[in-house]
């Protein structure tokens, strides 16, 4: 089990019983800051000082520290698989050989672009007349093998028939992280655009092209026109607006100018119906392509493809990508060690088979059992919270409790592992060829699910992932083994700490079923309105207060948090705190005293444990990118904006109206 030494106590108390594994909170305090002015800094200042960002990272937070611990364990697993010479076709053979290929940087240097020169020959022979059948066939090839030029296609549960999978079309194909980057007129934004154009020109130059700067300008101009047609990230958070179901025949008439028949003939299943995420985008995309000269379209598909595979090629391609995305956009100063990059490649394409080996060695069943018990305690507490809500009427409360009771729970790892028997790793081929082969395997596997019943046992994270998720379409919460370790979870630890850390994470994911997006889905995962109009309006009023609070937070320079983009996560944080605290209080009995551990009482340990999981240092470049692209607020504000909403925060630490974080009782937000 991995943990950070500064997070451990020599002894602990779990409802009065001596135990191990608690945090020495006070050793990480920054007592130069008043807790009522900046609780995040007060509680985490020592941790922040002792955890500087290494050159290979754009940030270092508790998630990253735990992930690094997991990487060391995974390294042992993949190196053993590499050296084992496992039977051909076994998961260990695939993992070991893929890792060995990734580690062979000398071979990549010698091969250069030659292993996939055929792909660029194919691009050069493409017809870019958008109505031509060959264009549709070629585009399908690239979508199945090498990224998403122009748009993306995938498979998803049908939002209004959630037991069945449906094909989905989605806007995609731009190289900057978000469409908003193309319209950023600030000095920093223009600097990023110039850096992006330099990367495009360098890619073309590496392929032997001339006039690369002018051609990069043309590619960028085309992408900007695509971006202008795209929804914003906030618009894409509206599940009603992005659900536009059409039959296959309606697709052809609603979005003409492209040979949809030939395109989908390349896939294992030809859909009878689809959803279109952004109708405006697809209504104009093919006209835009038709109006663009073939040379620019050729260059666009070329650089899109290079960008997709650059990390798997020789250093000149890899470093071109690194210099823009990692250095300029994220502030990263140096490459990660080769073994870490190689291991991430294995995780990217063979993550679940690797996870199976990980949990066999490192995840005890006792951790799974205690987490499941915690979930049920949180579910009970959530029901109590719903019963006590003053803003919600009885009929909506009843429907909410039905949905709560129906939330599925997955902990640790899948009960049924996915079949990778058709995935092939051939060490006689290059790393990039194997990467593309595995990409094709995943694409075909996904698209075979179109029109089939939803597999309720499927996981959308690997077991080793340090994260968790809620799926509104399946109404389930999922907690991989990777996150069920300190400082998030102590298998034999103090209840106050566990409820303040993993308990809030559990409550957070549950609350996603009732945030501004999740509340629009019913107990079966269907996009259905189960609210009275009065309760829906009261929810929107409370949510707007949350949006306003976060929209006023200045993150860096003059950039403010996007309160609408982060609304769902912020509602889930506050809900998770209230629900987890209620669940913790339910564990207490009248005859149990409130023991001090490391000088902290129950409520203090609960709140400190919550603050600790969001401790992190961030480069300025990371923060700017996070504001534009991320639906999560920065950890500092997940602490300092949320905790003042809780009455017990003030009583626990004796904070009064003189503290900068103080919020008057009547202004404290209550949603769940």
**Domain covering 114-312, topology:** Neutral endopeptidase; domain 2 (1.10.1380)
Torsion angles phi and psi, residue 421, rounded to 5: -65, -30
Residue 617: strand pairing partners: 60
CA dihedral 105, 110, 113, 117 (to 10 degrees): -130
Residue-level pLDDT at 337: 97
Q: Contact, 108 vs 430, CB < 8 A?
A: yes
- Dig out the tokens for 413 from the structure: 């790892």
The residue among 110 and 597 whose pLDDT is bigger is 110
Q: What pLDDT sits at residue 141?
A: 98
> How is residue 352 annotated by DSSP?
H
pTM, whole model, 2 decimals?
A: 0.93
- Nearest-angstrom CA–CA distance, 486 and 2: 7
Predicted confidence at residue 24, as pLDDT, reads 67
Q: Where are the beta strands (DSSP E) in 11-94?
A: 12-14, 17-19, 59-61
Extents of the domains making up the chain: 5-50+363-418+458-667, 114-312
**Separation between Cα atoms, residue 484 and residue 324, nearest integer Å:** 34
Q: Is the pLDDT of residue 6 over 80?
A: no
Longest dimension (CA), the chain: 81
Q: DSSP string of 486-524?
A: TTT--TT--HHHHIIIIIHHHHHHHHHTTSTTGGGB-TT
Structure tokens at 176: 């900057």
Q: Name, in order, each residue with C-beta under 8 angstroms of 139's C-beta and a sequence gap of 6 or more.
A: 149, 150, 263
* Nearest-angstrom CA–CA distance, 558 and 649: 29
Residue 571 has pLDDT above 50, yes or no: yes
| Residue 615: closest CA among 52, 69, 73 | 52
Task: Look at residue 10 in the predicted model and tell me its pLDDT.
Answer: 23
Cα separation, 603 vs 580, in Å, equals: 11
Distance CA 611, CA 618 (A): 16
Q: If you search the block for the tokens 């985490």, which residue do you land on?
A: 44
Q: Which residues of 252-277 are buried (b: 16+ CB within 10 A; e: fewer)?
A: eeebeebbbebbbebbebbbebbbbb
Going by C-alpha positions, the residue among 131, 120, 175, 180 that lies closest to residue 150 is 175
Given a contact cutoff of 8 angstroms between Cβ atoms, the answer to whether 45 and 29 are in contact is yes
The answer to whether residues 73 and 2 touch, using CB atoms and an 8 Å cutoff, is: yes
How confident is residue 11, by pLDDT bands cut at 50, 70 and 90?
A: very low
Predicted local distance difference test score (pLDDT) of residue 23: 54
Cβ neighbors of 230 (< 8 A, separation 6 or more) are 171, 174, 179, 278, 281
Q: How far apart are CA 648 and CA 642, in angstroms?
A: 12
N residues, the chain: 672
Q: Which of 366, 365, 363, 459 is nearest to 409 (CA)?
A: 459
With beta carbons less than 8 A apart as the criterion, state whether 476 and 409 touch: yes
Give the helix/strand (H/E) hosting 272. Answer: none
Query: Going by DSSP bridges, is the β-strand pair 245-247/161-171 parallel, antiparallel, or unpaired?
Result: unpaired
- The answer to whether residues 201 and 221 touch, using CB atoms and an 8 Å cutoff, is no
Cα–Cα distance, 258 to 647 (Å, whole number): 58
Per-chain mean pLDDT for the chain = 94
**359-369 burial, b if ≥16 CB within 10 A, otherwise e?**
beebbeeebbe
Note whether 175 and 200 are within 8 A (CB): yes
| Distance between CA atoms of residues 504 and 479, nearest Å | 12
Count other Cβ atoms within 10 Å, centred on residue 124. Answer: 10
Q: How large is the average pLDDT for residues 650-659? A: 96
Q: What percent of the chain has pLDDT over 90?
A: 93
Q: What is the pLDDT of residues 54-102, one digit of tens each?
A: 999 999 999 999 999 999 999 999 999 999 989 999 999 999 999 999 9
Give 479's DSSP letter: E
With a CB cutoff of 8 Å and minimum separation 6, the contacts of 573 are 504, 508, 638, 642
**Model confidence pLDDT, tens digit, residues 291-305:** 999 999 999 999 999
Q: What is the fold, at CATH topology level, of the domain defined by 5-50+363-418+458-667? A: Collagenase (Catalytic Domain) (3.40.390)
Confidence check: pLDDT of 348 > 90: yes
Summarize pLDDT for 505-543 with one digit per residue, the tens. Answer: 999 999 999 999 999 999 999 999 999 999 999 999 999
SS3 157: strand
């Amino acid at each position: 089990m991995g943990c950070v030494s500064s997070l451990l106590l020599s002894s602990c108390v779990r409802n009065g019983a001596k135990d191990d594994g608690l945090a020495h909170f006070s050793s990480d305090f920054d007592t130069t800051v008043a807790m009522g002015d900046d609780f995040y800094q007060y509680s985490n200042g020592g941790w922040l000082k002792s955890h500087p960002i290494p050159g290979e990272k754009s940030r270092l937070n508790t998630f990253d520290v735990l992930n690094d611990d997991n990487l060391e364990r995974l390294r042992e697993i993949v190196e053993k698989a590499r050296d084992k010479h496992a039977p051909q076709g076994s998961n260990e053979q695939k993992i070991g050989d893929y890792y060995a290929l990734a580690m062979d940087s000398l071979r990549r240097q010698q091969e250069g672009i030659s292993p996939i020169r055929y792909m660029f020959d194919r691009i050069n022979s493409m017809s870019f007349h958008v109505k031509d059948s060959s264009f549709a066939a070629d585009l399908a090839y690239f979508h199945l093998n090498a990224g998403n030029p122009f748009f993306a296609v995938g498979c998803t549960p049908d939002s209004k028939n959630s037991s069945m999978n449906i094909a989905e079309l989605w806007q995609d194909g731009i190289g900057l992280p978000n469409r908003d980057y193309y319209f950023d007129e600030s000095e920093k934004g223009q600097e990023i655009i110039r850096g992006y154009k330099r990367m495009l020109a360098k890619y073309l130059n590496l392929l032997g092209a001339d006039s690369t700067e002018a051609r990069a300008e043309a590619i960028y101009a085309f992408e900007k026109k695509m971006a202008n047609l795209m929804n914003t990230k906030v618009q894409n958070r509206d599940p009603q607006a992005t659900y536009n179901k059409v039959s296959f025949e309606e697709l052809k008439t609603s979005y003409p100018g492209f040979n949809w028949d030939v395109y989908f003939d390349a896939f294992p299943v030809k859909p009878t119906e689809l959803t279109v995420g952004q109708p405006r985008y697809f209504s104009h995309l093919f006209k835009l392509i038709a109006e663009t000269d073939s040379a620019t379209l050729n260059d666009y598909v070329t650089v899109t493809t290079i960008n997709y595979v650059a990390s798997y090629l020789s250093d000149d391609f890899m470093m071109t990508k690194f210099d823009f995305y990692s250095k300029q956009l994220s502030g990263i100063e140096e490459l990660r060690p080769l073994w870490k990059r190689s291991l991430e490649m294995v995780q990217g394409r063979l993550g679940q088979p690797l996870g199976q080996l990980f949990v066999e060695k490192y995840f005890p069943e006792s951790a799974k059992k205690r987490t499941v018990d915690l979930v049920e305690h949180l579910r009970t507490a959530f029901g109590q919270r719903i019963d006590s809500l003053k803003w919600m009427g009885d009929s909506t409360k009843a429907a909410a409790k039905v949905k709560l009771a129906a939330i599925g729970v997955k902990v640790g790892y899948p009960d049924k592992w996915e079949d990778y028997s058709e995935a092939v790793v051939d060490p006689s081929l290059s790393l990039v060829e194997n990467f593309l082969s595995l990409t094709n395997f995943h694409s075909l596997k996904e698209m075979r699910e179109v029109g089939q019943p939803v597999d309720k046992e499927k996981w959308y994270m690997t077991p080793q992932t340090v994260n968790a998720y809620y799926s509104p379409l399946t109404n389930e919460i999922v907690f991989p083994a990777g996150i069920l370790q300190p400082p998030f979870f102590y298998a034999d630890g103090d209840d106050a700490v566990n409820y303040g850390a993993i308990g809030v994470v559990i409550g957070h994911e549950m609350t996603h079923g009732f945030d501004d997006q999740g509340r629009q889905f019913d107990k079966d995962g269907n996009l259905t309105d189960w609210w009275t109009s009065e309760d829906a309006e009261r929810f929107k009023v409370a949510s707007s207060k949350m949006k306003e609070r976060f929209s006023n937070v200045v993150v860096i320079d003059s950039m403010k948090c996007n309160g609408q983009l982060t609304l769902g996560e912020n509602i889930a944080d506050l809900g998770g705190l209230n629900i987890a605290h209620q669940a913790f209080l339910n564990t207490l009995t009248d005859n149990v005293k409130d023991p001090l551990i490391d000088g902290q009482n129950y409520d203090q340990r609960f709140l400190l444990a919550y603050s600790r999981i969001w401790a992190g240092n961030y480069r300025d470049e990371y923060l700017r990118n996070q504001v534009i692209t991320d639906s999560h607020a920065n950890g500092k504000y997940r602490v300092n904006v949320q905790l003042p909403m809780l009455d017990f925060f003030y009583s626990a630490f004796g904070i009064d109206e003189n503290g900068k974080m103080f919020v008057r009782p009547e202004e404290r937000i209550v949603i769940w």
